[in-house]
Amino acid sequence: MDAEEWQAEQNRLDLVREKMQARIDEIEPEVSGTREQAAELRRRFWEEVTVNTSSDEDFEETFYTIKQQAAVLSERERRHRLLAQQWKSLNRLLPSPYFGRVDFLEDGLNSSEQIYIGVSSFIDEDGLSFLVYDWRTPIASLYYDHSPGTASYDTPGGRITGTMKLKRQYQIQNGQIRNMFDASVTIGDELLQQMLSKSADSQMKSIVATIQKEQNTIIRDDHSRLLIVQGAAGSGKTSAALQRVAYLLYKNRDTLKADQIVLFSPNPIFNSYVSSVLPELGEENMQQTTFQEYLEYWLGSSLSLEDPFDQIEYVLTAQAAQEYEARLQGMKYKASEAFLMALQSYAQWLGREGMLFKSLRFRDRDLITAERISSQFYSYDSSLRLANRVELLQKWLLKELSRIERQEREAAWVEEELDYLDNEQYAEVFAELHKDREVFDIAERYAEVYEKISHKRREDEGDFDFAEREKELLSQWIVKESFKPLRRSVRKLSFIDIHSLYVQLFDGEAGYREKTKEAEIPELWSEICQQTREKLERFELFYEDATPYLYLKELIEGVRTNTEIRHVFVDEGQDYSLFQYEYLKKLFPRARMTVLGDFGQAIFTQSTKLEGDDSLLHRLYGEDKATLIRLVRSYRSTREIVEFTKLLLADGAEIIPFERSGPKPLLARLESGEKRDIQILRDIAALQAEGFDSIAIITKTAAEAHEAYRSLLVLGGEVLQLITKETITFQKGVMIVPVYLAKGIEFDAVLIYDASPQTYSRENERKLLYTACTRAMHRLHLYTTGEWSPFVQALPVELYDQ
Ligand SMILES: Nc1ncnc2c1ncn2[C@@H]1O[C@H](COP(=O)(O)OP(=O)(O)OP(=O)(O)O)[C@@H](O)[C@H]1O
């Protein structure tokens, strides 16, 4: 680019920054001013209001003064919020106001407009000219979707067509243009090159300046009920998802708040890894959770739940266990659509017979027996849904409890309790009684009546002899207090024996067939039944049972829904079962769903295919409501690493590396474990000397990670961090991590601790090795002390160095 052009751009930049600075200076005093005003107003709120409620008029006046005062306060607060937002966004823009420009000549006009694009908009004093356009405005999509030539963009008013005369990218730091590129065919290959050659970080970065066309389609999809993104490892699925959240928040800023969006993450570390992207873009973070957190919330108080990490650890380490095969079959079956249907049929069966209840027990006796509850339940109209009948039953039980409560006041135990009340307790109860408006009113009325009858003037309530009445009131109070936990448990529907209802399902093949009409039962069903029952007897639940258990609970008790949430994002979507998807769909009935995943990385047993004719996910909301987008370009790793990793997968040919070069993956065979560990420590030192400061030693399991950690520590690797499922954040540095906890995360260099056939040879281990290797951005090393895993052996030798 010639010097003149460069200078012109720098001048423009200086001008825009001057205007920004002027705006900042202008609003700064106001920002602090309105904050103080609002704070002062809040402090003096009650001083300005005279509370007078003596007459109706006074009351009304007080009411209106309060209302008026509140309105002034909320207006100040609103103004402060807006100004503070503007101030923040200007300060964010100031060092680097924009990253792109397109010159667009709209059809029918005779001069082209220069459109500068940045992380938010900045408008000139005239209130009309955009000096910077927010990247989420319709016009900014020109930058992402087109190259110079014929171009168009969509607006709410229709499509605008024209010609793009120029497309330019900038790297601006502290107000200085460091680099400028004019893009021709693909946008920003140069800028993208630079971005991708940077080091990994403990926090994900926004990709706003280099969003690719296919990613832009994901970000701006406004119509799909279900948006499925199948994308190779490192193709920017998570990045696009977060940009999409920012886009949605911008586009629907009057109706959508950040807490109406929820992201399901694969593990807690991932939550922290992605948490800075939205704030970097000036948006609030959406809600982030894991599916496990949700299960724990609803089931954790009564059962001890296995988590997916323990489940996968079992799958990977317990092959020799006798019950292994059955457990595996159970995992697959319990994640399937067939089991979902079986549970639905079971619920219908329960509508006719077999419901199990718990007696309401009180002081070691049955107040209402399970049999009575059951016969009451089956006395309701059988055409009513289970949940509706449960609701009726709940009302009936509460009424029954009130009736029994009245009878109970005469019971001997109440008398005993009365006797046990010492003076202090008595005084407490009495004070409590007088606090209780209803009871107090009754006492008052009683006193008045007594007064009339006895023609005695009542002096004061303390002098009045309440003795008899008091006893009655106290008995009432004692029974009421004792019944409180019972009522609470009825309100919580604890009288339904969900535990036994789930167990009852696993009582053998004939019973199962009868209850569920299920035809295709796994071969090892009786072992599966036994395992499930044994676990539940200990009040524990396998991970594969947790969602079905909750689902059954809701079929009976009524579906829990969250109608606030408008968008659900599921990252690493291949690791959820169809069962879980059905569940999420029910839970968030008003939400659109975006699922991002890679079947190549499906390492859990309950995986779901995201694309292809045999993918059931498409049908979740009906096939016409689903959109599938495929991402095949991989941005994370160098070309050499992608060439190597893609052949680890059977159908890996679909992955296209981004043209960024580096050394080939390095295979190191050592004679013993100790020599391997020494070599690893040496390699780490060399990598660090090269400037790589995010290095991961990836193992297959947590057990292997522990072992590696211990032996590397002995050899002097004291700066290593061991990542476990409890880890919630990580720092840059060298870490040892089991592959399933490294999902979604990336490192400058990845060292595969043991790439031998003992660790990676079964088909389900192929994807583990793939997932582990694809975490690498710049360097990939594999180690073994014997043979190479067959997946490595199958690779052409020219793909790696030894
Ligand atoms: N358009 C882009 N511009 C710059 N960097 C990008 C772009 N798209 C992706 N990247 C980078 O590529 C890397 C991988 O992206 P991301 O983690 O979003 O991929 P993913 O598809 O979610 O990967 P995985 O499935 O392996 O978890 C990140 O470092 C991200 O910043």
pLDDT digits (tens, 9 = 90+) for 574-583: 999 988 999 9
For residue 55, pLDDT beyond 60: yes
429 against 106, higher pLDDT: 106
Nearest CA to ligand 1 atom 28: 636
673-727 confidence digits (pLDDT tens)? 999 999 999 999 999 999 998 999 999 999 999 999 999 998 887 789 999 998 8
Name which of 343-357, 561-575, 605-619, 683-697 the model is least confident about.
605-619
Distance between CA atoms of 110 and 311, rounded to whole angstroms?
A: 65
- Does position 436 have pLDDT exceeding 60, yes or no? no
**Residue 234 near ligand 1, beta carbon < 6 Å:** yes
pLDDT of 458 reads 46
**The pLDDT value given to residue 457:** 47
**633 close to ligand 1 (CB < 6 Angstrom):** no
Indicate the pLDDT class of residue 740, thresholds 50, 70 and 90. Answer: very high
Span from the CA of 585 to the centroid of ligand 1 (angstroms): 27
Closest residue by CA, ligand 1 atom 14: 234
Contact 574, 610 (CB under 8 A): yes
* DSSP 8-state secondary structure symbol assigned to residue 801: B
Sheet order of strands, 694-699 included: 666-669, 776-784, 747-752, 694-699, 733-738, 721-722
Quick check: CB of 744 below 6 Å from ligand 1? yes
Q: 234 among the known binding-site residues?
A: yes
Ligand 1 in reach of 231 Cβ (< 6 A): yes
What per-residue confidence (pLDDT) applies to 653? 63
211 lines ligand 1 (CB under 6 A): yes
| pLDDT for the residue numbered 464 | 47
228, 598, 635, 658: residue to mutate for ligand 1 pocket, most atoms within 8 A of CB:
635
User: What letter would DSSP give residue 755?
Assistant: -
Per-residue confidence (pLDDT) for residue 606, from 0 to 100: 79
Is 519 annotated to bind a ligand? Reply is no
Burial class (CB in 10 A: 0-12, 13-18, 19+), 45: middle
Residue 302, pLDDT > 70, answer yes
Average pLDDT rounded to a whole number, residues 659-684: 94
235 labelled binding-site residue = yes
pLDDT for 53: 66
Distance (angstroms) between ligand 1 centre and the Cα of 234 equals 5
Per-residue confidence band for 126, with pLDDT thresholds at 50, 70 and 90: confident
pLDDT band at residue 732 under the 50/70/90 scheme: confident
Our answer on whether the CB atom of 645 is closer than 6 Å to any ligand 1 atom is no
* pLDDT value, residue 459: 47
236 is in an annotated binding site: yes
Alpha carbon distance 438, 444 (integer Å): 10
For residue 439, name the pLDDT band (cuts at 50, 70, 90): low
Q: Please tell me the residue having the least CA distance from ligand 1 atom 29.
A: 636
For residue 717, say whether it is annotated as part of any ligand binding site.
no
pLDDT digits (tens, 9 = 90+) for 627-648: 999 999 999 999 999 999 999 9
Instruction: Tell me which range, 61-70, 135-144, 266-275, is most confidently predicted by mean pLDDT.
Output: 135-144
- Structure confidence at residue 66 (pLDDT): 74
Least confident segment among 54-63, 231-240, 502-511: 54-63
**pTM, rounded to two decimals:** 0.85
For atom 4 of ligand 1, which residue has the closest CA? 207
Kind plus residue range of the DSSP H or E element containing 444: helix 437-454
Q: Tell me which residue has its CA closest to atom 25 in ligand 1.
A: 233
Residues facing residue 172 across a β-bridge: 177
Q: Give the position, in ligand 1's atom list, of the atom nearest the Cα of 743.
A: 27
| Over residues 400-425, mean pLDDT | 83
Q: How confident is the model at residue 463 (pLDDT cuts 50, 70, 90)?
A: very low
DSSP 60-115: HHHHHHHHHHHHHHHHHHHHHHHHHHHHHHHHHHTTS--SEEEEEEETT-SSPEEE
For ligand 1, pick from 144, 219, 239, 648 the residue to mutate: most ligand atoms within 8 Å of CB: 239
